[in-house]
Amino acid sequence: MNPRHMHEWRQVGDVGVPDDKVIIPGLIGHATNYVEHPELIAEYICNYAGIVGRENVIAGADCGFSSRASYEPEVHPTVVWPKFQALAEGARLASAQLWKQPAVR
């Protein structure tokens, strides 16, 4: 998640999303070597769900893991996999909150 885009969930509410559309916000960054916290990811999923409905949000990555046209990724694979694990854990936490079920770890 690029810090320059962390406010965009509010803009989705301003612009609106058609009822028949699903959004996939980028919640893990493609060009940083830090792993996002699952609770922050869950918070953003819930923010988006509050605007477009819980059935219309799929958590995704901000982009691929290289923003250059090369074979060398900017984020090392040893960091990419924990990022995906954090994304999955954040989605589990958000799902538990949005559907009022205990989170399974």
- The residue assigned the tokens 């969930």 is 9
Residue 103 domain-assigned?
Answer: no
With respect to residue 18, please indicate whether it lies within any of the assigned structural domains: yes
Determine, yes or no, domain membership for 79: yes
The pLDDT value recorded for residue 28 is 92
Which pLDDT does position 46 carry in this prediction? 96
Strands, E assignment, 1-105: 26-28, 60-61
In this structure, is residue 105 part of a structural domain? no
pLDDT means over runs of 10, the chain (105 residues): 77 85 91 91 95 94 73 80 96 95 61
Distance of CA 93 to the CA centre of its chain: 12
Residue that the structure tokens 């090392």 belong to? 76
Q: What is this structure's pTM?
A: 0.85
Query: What is the span of the domain harbouring residue 7?
Result: 3-98
Provide the number of structural domains found in the chain: 1
